[in-house]
Chains A and B, each alone.
Chain A
């Protein structure tokens, strides 16, 4: 080993990890003009889907559309590499429509890697980061295996499940964050020594099978949509052919086998004590918790076009391999199926996200950002969203610009990050539409109208995307105006559209010019959605206005809650821990009551009560 001191590499932004969070963070920082290093322990695994090869789904699909609208990468990479598209919740109202796609896992990964490689200002390098370098209370860089140093003004940590990662298959334990990969052992110690709290979560994967050995005559096909709904506002049309997925089920025999071997499942033997997600239970969990169910669904999802490997969505497990081998042949269609990879559970460190501010910068070390699974979330989409926000903010900080924060009324991304930094997590956090109180306005179809201007102001929306956006927005405006001003039989077309039975065709019949204005079907869709939700959208707009009033009352960072003796002790502690940036956020902290907010209003004396005069009658009748 050489004792010669290496000159440190110098970057503006260093991103640790090149998963879904890391690649968005790296791309964003580089595109904003920062010299950026993207460090990964395996350069072949950029943007790898460690779990199922699918992007989107209910609430998650909306997030991908938002990432795209801001100028992120996930949406168009998915469109380019998907093998099947389905719009979930099609039978429900438009706010519930959620795009989902199966992807070609390797194609996705290669396109992600190529995108990173081609990005100016961005260095992709295979390195194992061993620790963080801090000067005072500021980040200074990272130390990698072999002794090299990367100096950076901002560091984004997106280490996923790789912090002190431990995989379980039955009694067998293997170090590593994903089958075939290693674990990052140095980082946890480095984070702890900086005073960060770390806890353990658990997640799992199912076995993967060789499709050649599956009997597809015994399983039900599940085709994609005839007309795919895409993720990116840049995509016009999907050209590639779609593949089918298939559905089969577990049965009593399978459940019997699982029950007989429960004592060998790490979650039940006590080998794993950490919390896993309730909405993504292992098959052993399902059998125990829902003992009355006699079957559970299994989706057989192809992992790509150039492989026969199938992902068995629905039977994630950490049972020993002999039990997995016994279970599979009991399932219809899988009688002779060969397992290519065994299922496993993985335990990893995460950092409770209340240690972050809404920019995803840590409160204790300036310039240090956390994004993705390290914050206790699950899901590629949740990770990518955080990566994008952290990358943007790291770059903005280096550039000396104002930080970028989305609030709960602007985007699912705002809901996600606000939940994380305000309430923390007690199980791996996944997005649901029910978490968004303004979900009628947070739709996948209007993500660009909500966010693309913001993306443009940041500098992530290029001219091509901006031109498309402006065209769409202008068409929507033109049609809206036309509907408002065209009157027939004493009624505007807009009023007519409010009747539930009115269709677009009816309007075009009344006003043929609309046909040309409404050439873009996505534009017409916007008009129809707003009409369909009518009064409810108005109501949500009022709620949003009310929400903003408290959201716009800032609390200074220097606030000393312990000095406010009128606050209850519990409130003082909670507020000190979370350090809310606004009265609105303070009100969402667990255990904070309206009384506490009233106290803060008084103590902050945050501006006078609004002086609100109102128009009034001139005289008394």
Chain B
């Protein structure tokens, strides 16, 4: 499979950080950026297009939205942009469903979803960035590795990877059968693949794809709210920190239904970035079944977190310091009680350090925002499923008015590739392997 890094494609991505920020931003670059965006743009003030960078306000007509969306377009004409290709930034509301709708409209008009770091890659190749910066980008591109994709998928979809894998596997079987009929039609052991059977397989596959696509709908919130978990030893002051952080918010603290002792979550505004703050309250080892259950819920929360606030009370003697990392912030609590050491010191009692903590949370999440946070995963997944669905429909159409299995094979392979992209897997010798396993080929 050819890596999808074609520099001639028009690419698009949501460029605002993961999470419901105040404003959202979708960036589009490439040879067709202008027509893709401007064809559906109703400017507030009609007029000549700018010859230099300029901001225009107006509305964008979107499929799936009854009234046009108010937007500000930052237009960079020509090749004097950081990607050296026409570039448009669409500034609009931070609402995630709206941003996703906007993005899928742009994709359906011919843009391709940008790979993580791909804007930066184009910038680097055009000398808009030095190697040190580019190296930082490489780490981000690496987020596309199968293991991470898989983790993100599991997190996102609660097990979408399994069904997608199963569907892909089934389609490879069908393709192997089809290919056996093309390459080894004269072999007596290769049974004919009846048209009706093939049509049935494709119809079932199409249904599975729409089913999977439906499961993705409504996961937007889970998908994009970065989860910030307060963790730490008993009596580290976690709950007090939680209450202090959300204290000024309207009372949106809610115990999650049905699991009274598992965790508390609340929306927290960190410099405009909305996060889901989770308090793993009641850390004390439980004896009852309910408490043990709660314990396992807590570990799940910590494991699924985008950021962990590692709380240690300043008066704690033992100091098993965990080394700082991208997904972990050390937070000193109870700073009113004792002398403060280096780092982020907070006090729920005095309110000290709470604003700094919010800023730190936002900064940490933003630093990772170009990586494959689950925000990208859902869109990527949706986009791949849409492509698989299109390919399967095209295959079904071909079956309806042509006898040429080699054409069906093209669509089938493209569906398999699209599903493989979600899983980070390419078809290599799998098809031939299955043919030889299943049929006795050769004179």
B6 partner residues in chain A, CB cutoff 8 A = 546, 549-550
Q: Assess the A281–B5 pair: CB atoms within 8 A.
A: no
Given the known A-B contacts A616-B34, A619-B49, are A605 and B404 also in contact in the complex, defined by CB atoms under 8 Å?
no
Q: Is A58 an interface residue (CB 8 A)?
A: yes
Find B115's partner among A314, A434, A594 (CB 8 Å cutoff). A594
The distance in angstroms between the C-alpha atoms of A532 and B404, with both chains bound, is: 10
Pairwise interchain contact B432-A432, C-beta atoms closer than 8 A: yes
Question: Is A199 engaged at the interface, CB distance under 8 Å to the other chain?
Answer: no
B436 and A594 contact, CB distance less than 8 A: no
Find the B residue at minimum CB distance from A620. Answer: B43
Residue contact A584 to B126, C-beta cutoff 8 Å: no
Identify B442's interface contact among A277, A546, A610, A621, CB under 8 A.
Answer: A277
The count of residues in chain A whose C-beta lies closer than 8 Å to any C-beta of chain B is 68
User: Do A280 and B182 form a contact, CB below 8 Å, given A440-B410, A610-B85, A611-B85?
Assistant: no
Bound-state Cα–Cα, A88 to B134, Å: 53
- Cβ of B256 within 8 Å of any chain A Cβ, yes or no, is no
Q: Which residues of B contact A103 (CB under 8 A)?
A: none
A550 touches B2 (CB 8 A): yes
**A613 touches which one: B31, B135, B428 (CB < 8 A)?**
B31
Q: Which of A278, A533, A590, A608 contacts B441, CB < 8 Å?
A: A278
Indicate whether B154 reaches chain A with its CB closer than 8 angstroms. no
Which chain A residues (519-573) contact chain B, with CB distance < 8 Å? Answer: 532-533, 536, 539-540, 546-547, 549-550, 566
Nearest-Cβ distance from residue A102 to partner chain B, whole angstroms:
13
Contact of A434 among B39, B183, B188, B402 (CB under 8 A): B183
Interfacial residues of chain B within 21-43, with CB under 8 A of chain A in the complex:
30-35, 38-39, 41-43
Contact with B along A421-454 (1 / 0, CB 8 A): 0000000000011110001100000000000000
Q: Is the CB of B85 within 8 A of A617?
A: no
Q: Which of B78, B183, B410 contacts A539 (CB 8 A)?
A: B410
Q: CB < 8 Å: which of A95, A279, A609 contacts B436?
A: A279
Given contacts A280-B443, A619-B48, A620-B43, contact A93 B405 (CB under 8 A): yes
Produce 1/0 per residue, B73-109, CB < 8 A to A. Answer: 0000111000111100000000000000000000000
In contact, B47 and A439 (Cβ under 8 angstroms) = no
Nearest-CB distance from A87 to chain B (Å)?
Answer: 11
Q: Does A5 contact B (CB under 8 A)?
A: no
A293 to B33, CA, bound (A): 59
In the complex, B52 has a CB within 8 A of chain A: no
The reply to whether B35 and A92 contact each other, CB–CB distance below 8 Å, is: no
CB distance A434 to B2 under 8 Å? no
* Interface membership of B248, Cβ < 8 A: no
Q: Which of B132-155 contact A (CB under 8 A)?
A: 134-135, 137-138, 141-142, 144-145
Q: Is A348 an interface residue (CB 8 A)?
A: no
Q: Kindly state the separation between the CA atoms of A435 and B179 in the bound complex, as whole angstroms.
A: 10
**Stretch touching chain A among B116-124, B278-286, B303-311:** B116-124
B interface residue count range (under 10 / 10 to 19 / 20 to 34 / 35 or more): 35 or more
Is A612 a contact of B30 with CB atoms below 8 Å?
A: yes
Check: A500 CB closer than 8 A to any chain B CB. yes
B440–A289 CB distance below 8 A: yes
Contact partners of A500 in chain B: CB under 8 A: 401-402
Does any Cβ of A come within 8 Å of B406's Cβ? yes
**Is B3 interfacial (CB-CB < 8 Å)?**
yes
A433 touches B443 (CB 8 A): no
Check B35–A614 contact: CB distance below 8 A. yes
A380 to B117, CA, bound (A): 48
Stretch at the interface among A149-157, A190-198, A384-392, A595-603: A595-603
A320 within 8 A of B: no
Q: Which one of B30, B144, B407 has the greatest number of beta carbons of chain A within 10 Å?
A: B407
Chain A positions within 8 Å of B, measured between CB atoms, are 52, 58-59, 88-89, 91-93, 95-96, 277-281, 286, 289-290, 293, 296-297, 299, 313-314, 316, 432-435, 439-440, 500, 532-533, 536, 539-540, 546-547, 549-550, 566, 584, 587, 590, 593-595, 597-599, 601-602, 605, 607-614, 616-621
Q: Chain B residues in contact with chain A, CB under 8 A?
A: 2-8, 30-35, 38-39, 41-43, 46-49, 56, 58, 77-79, 83-86, 115, 117, 121-122, 124-127, 131, 134-135, 137-138, 141-142, 144-145, 179, 182-186, 188-189, 401-407, 409-410, 428, 431-432, 436, 440-443
- A–B complex contacts, Cβ < 8 Å, 28 sampled: A96-B182, A96-B405, A278-B441, A286-B440, A432-B183, A434-B409, A440-B407, A536-B407, A539-B410, A593-B3, A593-B144, A594-B115, A595-B141, A598-B117, A599-B138, A601-B121, A601-B125, A602-B121, A602-B125, A602-B134, A602-B138, A608-B126, A613-B31, A614-B34, A616-B34, A617-B49, A620-B49, A621-B43
Other than the given A88-B185, A610-B85, 5 more pairs (CB < 8 A) read A278-B442, A289-B440, A587-B2, A602-B134, A617-B34
